[in-house]
Amino acid sequence: MIKLPWVERYRPSELDDYVFKNPELKEQVEAWLKEGSVPSLLFHGPAGTGKTTLAKMLVRQLGVDEYDVLLANGSKECRKIDWVDKLISFCQTMPFGDFKIVLIDEFDYANQQSVQPALRNLMEDYSQTVRFIATCNYPNRIIPPLKSRFQEFQIDKLDITEFTARAATVLVEENIEFDLDDLDTFVKSAYPDLRKCLNLMQQASVSGTLVVSSVADGGTADFKLKAVDLFKSGKIKEARQLICSQITAEDMESFFRWSYDNLDLWSKSPEGQDEAILIIRNALVNAPMVTDQEINVAAMLVELSQIGK
């Protein structure tokens, strides 16, 4: 029997299993399901917080016929205007049920010059028979005239304690032996992306025990996992060198956020963490003015390592 990835095995399939951080959103979802219909929706928030899970759960619990659902990935199909022709053909045919749903993941990658403007009129022309449900990490990348056609909902991240508890629950359910400090390393490397955390832990548990080095020393793991292990071991210079050698331009925005989400890596005291926030903020402000981002990140990490000294 093929074993499912943990992210699929523990993906909520029923409303009662989904963790809502916003009780108002839960009430709204319950109302949609009671009515048997939804408006066009835009779910946004950090990666791995359950946006796509909620969107797919809505489609499934509304009982929408599979032939009435068009799935698309914004980072692939929606980069090219050719995809709009496929979308028009889908919208033009009558639904088997009450309405059709276009479900677009990573909508913030849809082309702003061609695809996004084309969707504005489509959403209005077929508003009676087609609903659009989109998910994204960065709603500011969606043009305002298009975004205004959606009802927007922020999907908040889990707090670090609940995130850790959910990761630990999966390990217990899978009968994986683990040390709490090792679990903390995985949490710090991936938070708030629970999907990434589960993927890394599954990769590191093939022996039946959670082993950081089994993936941290390989070439397939996220570099932040090994960096966290080095930081916690007091090998600050090695951690900085690793980050600067691995980080890419695409990683920069999320790396500043990751540094902020893990303030206890830089200091255990409230005063030290306040100082860390200012250091991270300054590096973020400087980023657009610095031609070599590696130097900017390296300088930030040097300053963070000097807190309290």
Last residue of a domain, one of 123, 139, 154: 154
Average pLDDT of the chain, as a whole number: 90
Q: What is the pLDDT of residues 134-146, one digit of tens each?
A: 999 989 999 999 9
194 lies in a domain? yes
233 lies in a domain? no
Residues 6+ apart with CB under 8 A from 210: 171, 176, 177, 178, 179, 182, 183, 186, 201, 204
Section 240-255 average pLDDT: 87
- 278 shares its domain with 262: yes
- 16 shares its domain with 111: yes
CATH number reported for the structural domain that contains residue 134 in this entry? 3.40.50.300
Q: What is the pLDDT of residues 85-131, one digit of tens each?
A: 999 999 999 999 999 999 999 999 999 999 999 999 899 999 999 99
- Rounded Cα distance between 276 and 294, Å, is 19
- 177 shares its domain with 275: no
Q: What is the pTM of this model?
A: 0.81
pLDDT at 20: 85
45 lies in a domain? yes
20 vs 281, which has greater pLDDT?
A: 281
Last residue of a domain, one of 104, 129, 154: 154
- Rounded Cα distance between 119 and 127, Å, is 12
Q: Quick check: 41 and 55 in contact, CB under 8 A?
A: yes
- 192 shares its domain with 286: no
196 vs 15, which has greater pLDDT?
A: 196
- 98 shares its domain with 186: no
- 309 shares its domain with 294: yes
- Rounded Cα distance between 273 and 90, Å, is 52
Q: What is the pLDDT of residues 21-54, one digit of tens each?
A: 888 899 999 999 999 999 999 999 988 888 999 9
Number of domains in the chain: 3
Last residue of a domain, one of 154, 175, 204: 154
Domain that holds residue 302: 247-309
241 lies in a domain? no
- Is 220's pLDDT higher than 50? no
287 vs 250, which has greater pLDDT?
A: 287
- Rounded Cα distance between 242 and 230, Å, is 9
- 11 shares its domain with 130: yes
1 lies in a domain? no
- 86 shares its domain with 214: no
- Rounded Cα distance between 100 and 40, Å, is 11
Helix (H, G, I), strand (E, B) or coil at 44: strand
Q: How confident is the model at residue 1 (pLDDT cuts 50, 70, 90)?
A: very low
232 lies in a domain? no
- 139 shares its domain with 270: no
Q: What is the pLDDT of residues 191-214, one digit of tens each?
A: 989 999 999 999 999 899 999 886
Q: What is the pLDDT of residues 163-190, one digit of tens each?
A: 999 999 999 999 999 999 999 999 999 9
CA atoms within 13 A on the CB side of 108: 13
Q: Which secondary-structure segment (H or E) carries 163? A: helix 160-173
Residues 6+ apart with CB under 8 A from 232: 181, 185, 265
- 12 shares its domain with 137: yes
- Is 2's pLDDT higher than 80? no
Cα-Cα-Cα-Cα torsion 143, 147, 152, 155, nearest 10 degrees, comes to -30
Residue with tokens 């908040």: 156
- 30 shares its domain with 112: yes
- 81 shares its domain with 214: no
pLDDT at 65: 93
